[in-house]
Amino acid sequence: MRAALVQGVKALAYLLPDLLRALVQRPETGQFPFAPPQIPEGYRGRVQAHPERCRGCGLCVRDCPAFALELHRENRDTFRLVYYPARCAFCGQCEISCPFGVLYQTHAFVRGTEDLDRLTVRLVDRSASTTPEES
Amino acid sequence: MARTIVPIGPQHPLLKEPIAFQIVVEGEQVTDSTMRMGYVHRGIERLCQERTYIQNLYLLERVCGICSHVHAVTYCRGVESLLGLEVPLRATYLRALLCELERIHSHLLWLGMLARNIGLDTIFMYAWRDREIVLDIMEALSGGRVSHAINTIGGVRQDITPMQREVIWGQLDKLDQQVSRLLRVVEHERSLQARTRGVGHLSLEQVRRYCVVGPIARASGLDVDLRRDEPRPPYDRLNFDVVTHTAGDVWARTLVRMQETLVSVQLCREILRTMPDGPIAVSARRRVPPGEAISRSEAPRGELFYYIRSDGSDRPARVKIRTPTLPSLLSLQIQLKAITIADISVILSGVDLCIACADR
Amino acid sequence: MSTWFRILIFPGFAFLFIAALAFEWIDRRMIARFQGRIGPPWYQPLADLIKLLAKEDIVPEGTNKFAAAALPILSLTAVLTASLYVPVGGIKGASFEGDLIIVLFLLSLPALAYFLAGWVSSSIYSLLGGHRSLLQYFSYEVPFLMAVACPAILSDSWSITRIVSFQAQTAWHALMQPLAFVLALVGLIGKLKRDPLDIPKAKSEVVAGPLTDYSGRKLALWHLTMTMQTVLGIFLLVNLFFGESRFFNPMPALPIFGLKAAAILVALSTASALYARLRIDQLMDLGWRILAPLALLQMLVTLWIAN
């Protein structure tokens, strides 16, 4: 009799145990904008630089698949490395290609913005008059 | 009711990518259908010719979002054969680990879409909740949930630490439990069976004629799986079953995919357990000597085929991709006949369309 | 209580509006929890309604403008009128012998308006959805009406208030005629076009059914009609099958009524989460081969008991 009842419930409402279990467990979703997201250790986000190590070789520019890096070079000591976060695919090839360990990836997201200047970032600025700086 | 044409697509709640079907119906009965593709064509094959081999790694990952890793692996294998490189064993194991994880994630995604399209939202949520486990593992391994960027020509870029290995082992146990539960639901839940049984039948002869590959072919009885048929490390050292069924309808395809997912979880465990130590990459020259190479892999949807021709420079002369969704789309022509409108969504879901793959 | 208060505030329009929002929230939150999600916050149905009211109202070319504007008003009016005769916790707007029949008639007007909304629209999806909604109507309405008539037959009255007070003297109709209750519940799922019987508005097949082209204020009125119909349908079932009882009498009537209504809503939400959508031919099969004979059987049993 009891087996028949269990069979009947199984035939008519097979998912019922899962539904009841889901009621008592913690929900899977989070309150994202009001609670911080959980980002693991090696997450590949926005690209940043250690500008003092850069020598302007351009290996990163050559290997970027999204053409998000540009090197503007006047002579051996005057160059600028420009990064376009909007084009970036966050693949990390630039980090691997650089032999001097200049570029690295952070956990930051690249958010949409109405300010176009934020979409052109000077990672390395070596002009003859100024000291190296990071934007 | 008179003959009318119901457009499914390019935009429709049923489709996750744009493709246009014009379905001719009379009342609720479908009589004929035509299809038009190309809405997601991005010209990737042409773009490959203007980028170096290294840049193409990341471009080709983005042919498809669901099977991104296997595209990169197949391409890498083609280029490595042109360069004459021998990839270290540990790298092949890591690549295979991600391939199997991707297979699990793709099948769980597909199960969710099928359930959603037949109105069973609960299974959609449960399948995608379990898919989150896989995505978290992949994010911990490679840094990205969908675009992994872990391949490089000559091996992989990132190694797996022992602590990650322990964590993944525990997650795999949980995944095993959840996927087994989903498999039992598919086998026993009556309303799901009522919608998917007997729908979208493809016979073995039709599968052969349309060159359908993957779980669809295996559900109709064609015993073909590139992991076993073209054994390459590490698959030549791992034992696994190839799941086939004979019914050939959408329910059989669901069973095949779910059982394959369990096999993949088992394969992941075996890969983790038997992974050898060693280097993870060999260095590769930038200029590839002239020649042609063909590489094939078992993507989640079937056989993925790459043809790469090089002319001696650091850019490929031609990259040709044949994705497994293409013959599935052609086989839809037979499936979308003499059914009701309600079955259209079941059939389109059952075929596991990845239009981005098909259109490139 | 003055008549105007009963019509406009409680248990009339204002109470129905608030109850519709509350029931929609409970429904969505329950389904979300069943699926392992958090679910929308309490103000979500109100926010959705306000958003819809603020959106642009487009009537595509080829659609009959007058009908498209009149149909949502017609169905909302029908539902609001029906609310006058459904008592809430014993307090009613009006009652007379035969008001059950009026309520059932008024509650079936939205189904007709839904079909017409698909018929006058120029979209192929709307036409298909309207076609399906009519097929669905024929499948669930007969068992539903027969099941709802059973308490009336047993109580020997067609007035909802009398049916409720009959249960106070004997027992709940749900206990005396359980089959009628189950059939009425299934019929209610079809009437409200909820999963698994949301065939006319199946998102993956006919986009949104007859309401595909509606937007803005008209869609807000339709949405309000659907949610108010849910509330009224549940209240009707509570009155007919779980009316007053000897054992609960000293306790306040309104919270008890609310609890019973919430229990039925939970049952409906569970059914939504459990099953996949049926095909229209499977529904017609179910309706005419299983539900209608069962309803007939229940009616015969009721007639036999009543004598």
Does residue B11 fall inside a structural domain? Answer: no
Does residue A42 fall inside a structural domain? Answer: no
Q: Which chain A residue lies closest to B147 (C-alpha atoms)?
A: A91
Interface touch A31/C35, C-beta < 8 Å: no
Inter-CA distances, A125 with A81, A103, A120, A121, C41, Å = 7, 14, 13, 10, 49
Does residue A39 fall inside a structural domain? Answer: no
Query: Which region, left, alpha or beta, applies to residue A67 given φ > 0 means left and ψ of -120 to 50 means alpha?
Result: left
Q: Is C202 in CB contact (< 8 Å) with chain B?
A: yes
The CA distance from B238 to B223, in Å, is 18
The SS3 assignment for A103 reads strand
Does residue A59 fall inside a structural domain? Answer: yes
Q: Is B195 in CB contact (< 8 Å) with chain C?
A: yes
Same domain, A12 and A54: no
Query: What's the gap between Cα A62 and its chain centre?
Result: 20
Q: What is the mean pLDDT of chain B?
A: 89
Does residue B260 fall inside a structural domain? Answer: yes
Range of the domain at B69: 40-329
The CA distance from B228 to B223, in Å, is 10
Interface touch A27/C33, C-beta < 8 Å: yes
pLDDT of residue C95: 75
DSSP string of B291-313, one letter each residue: EEEEEEEEETTEEEEEEEEE-SS
Interface touch A63/B132, C-beta < 8 Å: no
Q: Are B246 and B252 in contact (CB under 8 A)?
A: yes
Interface touch B119/C202, C-beta < 8 Å: yes
Give the relative orientation of helices C216-241 and C99-119 as an angle to the nearest 10 degrees.
150
Check the CA dihedral B64-B66-B68-B73 and report its sign: negative
Q: Which chain B residue lies closest to C197 (C-alpha atoms)?
A: B119
Same domain, A17 and A61: no
How many domains, in total, are found in chain A? 2
Which of C36, C124, C282 faces B125 most closely, judged by CB atoms?
C36
Residue from B42, B48, B53, B54 to probe the interface with A (highest A Cβ count within 10 Å):
B54
Interface touch A19/C38, C-beta < 8 Å: no
Q: Is B122 in CB contact (< 8 Å) with chain A?
A: yes
Range of the domain at A11: 2-26
DSSP secondary structure letter of residue A1: -
Same domain, A114 and A54: yes
The two structure tokens encoding residue C257:
């009524």
H or E, element range at B36: strand B29-36
Express each pLDDT in A90-133 by its tens digit: 888 988 889 998 888 888 888 888 888 778 888 777 775 544 44
Does residue A131 fall inside a structural domain? Answer: no
Same domain, A107 and A51: yes
pLDDT of residue C262: 92
How many domains, in total, are found in chain B? 1
Cβ contacts below 8 Å, chain A against chain B, sum to 68
Q: Is B11 in CB contact (< 8 Å) with chain C?
A: no
Interface touch B55/A64, C-beta < 8 Å: yes
pLDDT of residue C45: 93
Chain A residues with beta carbon closer than 8 angstroms to that of C270: 13, 16, 19
> Residue A66 maps to which CATH number?
3.30.70.3270
Does residue A92 fall inside a structural domain? Answer: yes
Is the pLDDT score of A28 beyond 90?
no
Does residue B21 fall inside a structural domain? Answer: no
Same domain, A55 and A121: yes
Confidence of residue B341 (pLDDT cuts 50, 70, 90): confident
Interface touch C274/A22, C-beta < 8 Å: no
pLDDT of residue B69: 92
The CA distance from C164 to C166, in Å, is 5
Encode chain C (307 residues) as per-residue pLDDT tens digits. 577 777 777 777 888 899 999 999 999 999 999 998 888 999 999 999 999 999 988 888 888 888 888 999 999 999 998 888 888 877 777 777 888 899 999 999 999 999 999 888 888 888 888 888 998 998 889 999 999 998 888 888 888 888 888 888 887 888 888 899 999 999 999 999 888 888 888 887 888 888 888 888 899 999 999 999 999 999 999 988 887 776 666 667 788 888 889 999 999 999 988 888 888 888 888 889 999 999 999 889 888 887 7
Residue from A20, A91, A96, A109 to probe the interface with B (highest B Cβ count within 10 Å):
A91
> Residue B105 maps to which CATH number?
1.10.645.10
- Specify the higher pLDDT residue, C44 or B342: C44
Residue from C269, C278, C279 to probe the interface with B (highest B Cβ count within 10 Å):
C279
Residue A30 Cα, gap to closest chain C Cα (Å): 8
Give the relative orientation of helices C216-241 and C124-155 as an angle to the nearest 10 degrees.
20
**What ipTM does the predicted assembly reach?**
0.87
Express each pLDDT in B226-285 by its tens digit: 888 888 888 888 888 888 888 888 999 999 999 999 999 999 999 999 989 889 889 888
CA-nearest of C107, C28, C63 to C215 is C63
Does residue A94 fall inside a structural domain? Answer: yes
Chain B residues with beta carbon closer than 8 angstroms to that of C281: 28, 340
Same domain, A116 and A59: yes
- According to DSSP, the β-strands at B302-310 and B291-299 are antiparallel
Q: Are B297 and B324 in contact (CB under 8 A)?
A: no
Helices (H) and strands (E) in chain B, counts: 14, 9
Binding-face residues of C in 254-293 toward B, CB within 8 A: 273-282
Interface touch B126/A43, C-beta < 8 Å: no
Give the relative orientation of helices A16-24 and C253-274 as an angle to the nearest 10 degrees.
120
How many domains, in total, are found in chain C? 1
B partners (3+ CB pairs within 8 A) are: A, C
Q: Are C143 and C294 in contact (CB under 8 A)?
A: yes
pLDDT of residue B131: 92
Confidence of residue B316 (pLDDT cuts 50, 70, 90): very high
Query: What's the gap between Cα C114 and its chain centre?
Result: 14
Check the CA dihedral A109-A114-A119-A122 and report its sign: negative
Q: Which chain C residue lies closest to B117 (C-alpha atoms)?
A: C204
Same domain, A14 and A52: no
Q: Is C196 in CB contact (< 8 Å) with chain B?
A: yes
The SS3 assignment for B122 reads helix
Q: Is C37 in CB contact (< 8 Å) with chain A?
A: yes
- Specify the higher pLDDT residue, B268 or A42: B268
CA-nearest of B345, B65, B333, B111 to B215 is B111
The CA distance from A12 to C221, in Å, is 36
Same domain, A13 and A78: no
Check the CA dihedral B163-B167-B169-B170 and report its sign: positive
Does residue A87 fall inside a structural domain? Answer: yes
pLDDT of residue A131: 41
Is the pLDDT score of A135 beyond 60?
no
The CA distance from C138 to C149, in Å, is 17
Same domain, A58 and A110: yes
The two structure tokens encoding residue C299:
């009616």
Range of the domain at C146: 3-306
Express each pLDDT in A46-91 by its tens digit: 888 888 888 888 898 988 998 999 988 888 788 888 898 888 888 8
